[in-house]
Structure 1
């Protein structure tokens, strides 16, 4: 097979992976509390938990979402008792977001679940080397930069 054919197959496989992930993310699940949560909610909690204290601007930048979309997500998480939002005492204009004790339960449960799931995937990939994974990471980063540039109206991939 020629390089272009293999690349096209890679792109189709990545699109299929994207569709499967999207479908998987659309199913609400339980993460150690009585709440059914969508993956996007849990990943937002994960970002907040990793940062200890954060704000909507920081989350929006990390996730490539608008501050408005992040604010709506945070409001949902507040209603579920998973995060709190309060004014930064050092900068009154900034709102700080952090996990509640209940949010920390979900955060820890999700970390444990990810470790288990990643372990299963790793077992399925036992024939691949560290170098294989590193090459895939490198290719993915180049593709991600290209997609990001296309999304932003750019077409120069050399940056």
Structure 2
């Protein structure tokens, strides 16, 4: 087997893994609440947990999305009982966002889920001989750089 065949044996599963991760990122989970949450919703919940009392503008900046997108996201989370909007202290028009008890449960469950994912991936990579791990790190960084370049080119 020549080097090109070996490289293809790495690239093909990498593409399948990327596709699977993309599919996973499109699925919902209830995160212990019984209410399906999409990835952008749980990311907003974890961000509000990290920055309680944030305004819509601040949350938009943390999430790196438009204020309109954030507004729609928060409306959904309020309807789902995950977030409450109140007026910020000393303000008659600025909203302050806080998690409800359900939102806190979702945040905690998501934190546990992320830890589980990390543990599983660590267990997989711990099987790799330690002298090869620097190569994996290099390949990962170069692959990430390549995909960021492609995304930037498509956005121009």
TM-score range, shorter chain: 0.7 to 0.9
Residue pair 2:53, 2:88 contacting (<8 A) in 1 also: no
Extract unaligned runs of 5+ from structure 2: none
Q: Partner residue of 1:66? A: 66
State the partner residue of 2:84: 84
Is residue 48 from structure 1 mapped to residue 48 from structure 2 by the alignment?
Answer: yes
CA deviation digits over 1:80-119, x for unaligned, max 9? 1110112212343421111111110110011011111210
C-alpha distance in 2 between matches for 1:152 and 1:90: 40
Count residues with an aligned counterpart. 148
Q: 1:90 to 1:141 in 2, by over 3 A?
A: farther
- Distance in 2 (CA, whole Å) between partners of 1:61 and 1:151 is 23
Q: Aligned residue for 1:20?
A: 20
Q: How far, CA to CA, are the matches of 2:73 and 2:32 in structure 1?
A: 20
Give the C-alpha shift of residue 14 in structure 1.
6.9
Higher strand fraction: Structure 1 or Structure 2? 1
Distance 1:18 1:63 in 2: 22
C-alpha RMSD over aligned residues: 3.0
Give the alignment's TM-score, normalised by structure 1.
0.72
Q: CA separation in 2, counterparts of 1:68 and 1:76? A: 13
Instruction: Evaluate the alpha carbon distance shift between residue 139 and residue 64 of structure 1 in structure 2; reply closer, same or farther with a 3 A threshold.
Output: farther
Q: Specify the alignment match of 2:107 in structure 1.
A: 107
Residue 144 and residue 116 in structure 1: after superposition, are their counterparts in 2 closer, same or farther (change >3 A)? same
